[in-house]
Amino acid sequence: MKKRVITNIVSRSFGKFASHRFHPVLQKFINISYVKLMKLDMSEFKKPKEYRSLNELFTRSLVKKRVIDIADESIISPVDSLITECGRLESDRLLQIKGMEYSVKELLKEISAQNINRILDGEYINFYLSPRDYHRYHVPCDMQVRKAVHIPGRLYPVNLRFLKKKLNLFVENERVILECLNKEGVLFYIVLVGALNVGEMVLTFEERIRTNLDPDIKVYEYEDLWLKRGELFGYFKMGSTIVMLFEKESVELRVKSKDRVKYGIEVAKFKKG
């Protein structure tokens, strides 16, 4: 059996287990055990026993909304995560981790050559979410979503150990690509990358995307879909990775590789003019 099939089946099976609501006593034990095993910081969330399944715990919402008090041109981290790599693309090449390059053109399938050319030599940031992180993702800046592309693929792990040994990991894994513009028309992309045991990548504005189920590439286009900075736009069921890519000479990064960030803090800033 092909490895692609095995990893997808494992992920679907885990997703079924995680979404199952066990007897409250057993569910409480599972939740508390997971929190202890993964060393989750639950200070911003409900108590572990209050979640009716592991999926509810994985996709937990904040009890209190975080205050975002930064400049209008600031780009916030969409997630709580580790920055595995960031910097400037070398033409169309970027890093999944030091020493492991891959191609933007291969990552951004179904995106026009004209728009890919606008990204070449631009800035990028990789956000890695471990299983212990808050799994919801939020809008990094006021933005228009012009297109969503669902690309089925493999579900390899995206942890640091696997990033160091598996070439073209982000290119081979299942992913959802969002083509976006800011208020000034700057082009950027948000790429949600699937991983082993990620049962679903959910978008709040697009229910037709069914990850780890639909075998065909699907493209969805939007006329006037605007999202506000800080707004929830979806969640991973388990940890995974987000890659952001920006039009050439459009942003200044405010983070570096190996920084830990939380949703709501500034990670980059659009250049004025």
What region does 192 belong to: left with phi over 0, alpha with psi -120 to 50, or beta?
beta
Catalytic residue among 74, 77, 81, 240: 240
Has 135 been annotated as catalytic? no
Amino acid at 79: V
Has 80 been annotated as catalytic? yes
SS3 content of the chain, % helix, strand, coil (to 5): 20, 35, 45
d(CA 134, CA 154): 23
Has 214 been annotated as catalytic? no
Query: How long, in residues, is the chain?
Result: 273
Catalytic residue among 11, 92, 138, 150: 138
- Those residues whose C-beta lies under 8 Å from the C-beta of residue 30, and which sit 6 or more positions away, are 22, 54
d(CA 200, CA 236): 6
Partnered with residue 241 across adjacent β-strands are 128, 193
d(CA 37, CA 39): 6
Tokens of 158: 């995206």
Burial 71-95 (b: 16+ CB within 10 A, else e): eebbbbbbbbbbbbbbeebeebebb
Catalytic residue among 80, 81, 92, 135: 80
Catalytic residues: 80, 138, 240
